[in-house]
Structure 1
């Protein structure tokens, strides 16, 4: 393994950076599409519905290939139209856009469900107490939405983190690709697969601790009933 540790470490950094950036993009898309699906404008609602239905109906790997090659073809068409030299999409940027676009559909349903789960009577009571719209959102709406959304956010984040392994097919030198290269060079593919799995397990374990703390934070004052 001497000489290969920096390559594996760099791959791990790229993987976690890709996952976090994709999560941010997916959350932004999820919020906007959730608002769109709840909109009274039918065109916006139907567009958001079509987006989530298409994403959830096609396998992630197929979507990754479609989006990645589709982006490159679109960029090639633009450069040809303006007579600009060939521009190749950065694999990291392509991975972020691809994962963010795919999992934005899942976050859409998470945020939409969280919004619908907030009791309207609770909001009416907050307004009756004289709170402004901003105060109602900050002190009532947002904490309740987070309480309902956190299980879905946790699940989506873990899926996004593990889905970064598929982006190695797009040419990104992530953890999976780095361990594959080292495994082939050292004739130890099983050992390197175990190392990759250990990194992912470490990332998910840290994530579970942080998300568990958030769940405890947004569940203050709630008594859980044991069945």
Structure 2
């Protein structure tokens, strides 16, 4: 067996199992951060469209700052300062300091960054809904929650999917930035494996292939979701 394949073996002395564990950690970060960002985005989009002036101004500051500052700087700031602020608040409340795991902190960091972009994507998707659909829901006597569940969310989905799909791809790649704070995701364990064996080309190519597999699988799933969301809609030329 070639030496490169031996190094990628799933059992020691190969590092294949370590790379797969790093990939699993990266997927946990990406999925958790993406879902948190999506939840923030839904609230942010409706707040910007239907909230009061103070709420709209606060959300505008949030989305502007997050989108203006480089993501690496935000990750460093939120990861270290965010956990420190939480522990200071716990101390003020009389509670002992908590040891926040790297996974939870990473999901929070990615979620906050994703939330700013999701807010704008979903706001644009809601504004793209033909006004007649919302007016028809009100004419049928639907309350705000029922109209949201049966009309607004289903109608906005086809407009939101391309932007949300792009954000998911970004989330999978942003997990690599957490290597700078020592979280053992795919990029960090790849660097450790390459440093220990000096087989840099082998391990970085392997990591690239794993990221590519995630991207291709995501593209297939997103295409299926988009096809389902656009059922019954006229095809665009």
Normalised by the length of structure 1, the TM-score is 0.91
User: Are residue 186 (structure 1) and residue 190 (structure 2) matched?
Assistant: no
| Structure 1 residue 7, shift from structure 2 partner | 1.2
Counting matched residue pairs gives 225
2:79 to 50, 68, 73: 68
- The 1-side partners of 2:84 and 2:149 are apart by 43
Verify the 8 A CA contact 2:29 2:103 in the aligned structure 1: yes
- 1:38 aligns to what SS in structure 2? helix
Distance 1:85 1:141, change over 3 A: closer
Question: 1:210 aligned to 2:205?
Answer: no
- CA 1:138–1:33 in 2, change beyond 3 Å: closer, same or farther? closer
CA distance in 2, matches of 1:34, 1:151: 17
Q: Indicate yes or no: 2:183 matched with 1:201.
A: no
The reply on whether 1:117 has 2:131 as its aligned counterpart is: no
Equivalent residue runs for 1:51-66 within 5 Å: 51-66=62-77
Q: Distance in 2 between matches of 1:81 and 1:104?
A: 28
- Unaligned segments of structure 2, at least 5 residues: 1-6
CA distance in 2, matches of 1:49, 1:225: 33
Question: What's the counterpart of residue 106 of structure 1?
Answer: 117
The Cα RMSD (Å) is 2.0
Q: Does 1:141 align with 2:152?
A: yes
- Partner residue in 2 for 1:132: 142
C-alpha distance in 2 between matches for 1:127 and 1:76:
46
**Distance of 2:141 and 2:219 partners within structure 1:** 35
Query: Structure 1 residues 124 and 85 mapped into 2: Cα distance closer, same or farther (>3 Å)?
Result: closer
The alpha-carbon deviation at position 212 of structure 1 amounts to 0.4
CA contact (8 A) 2:45 2:120 kept: yes
Cα contact 2:83–2:105 (8 A) shared by 1: no
Q: 1:169 aligns with which of 177, 180, 191?
A: 180
Displacement of 1:126 after TM fit? 4.1
- My pick for the range that moved more, 69-78 or 44-53, is 69-78
Gaps of at least 5 residues in structure 1 are none
Q: Which moved more, 1:70-79 or 1:51-60?
A: 70-79
TM-score with structure 2 setting the length: 0.87
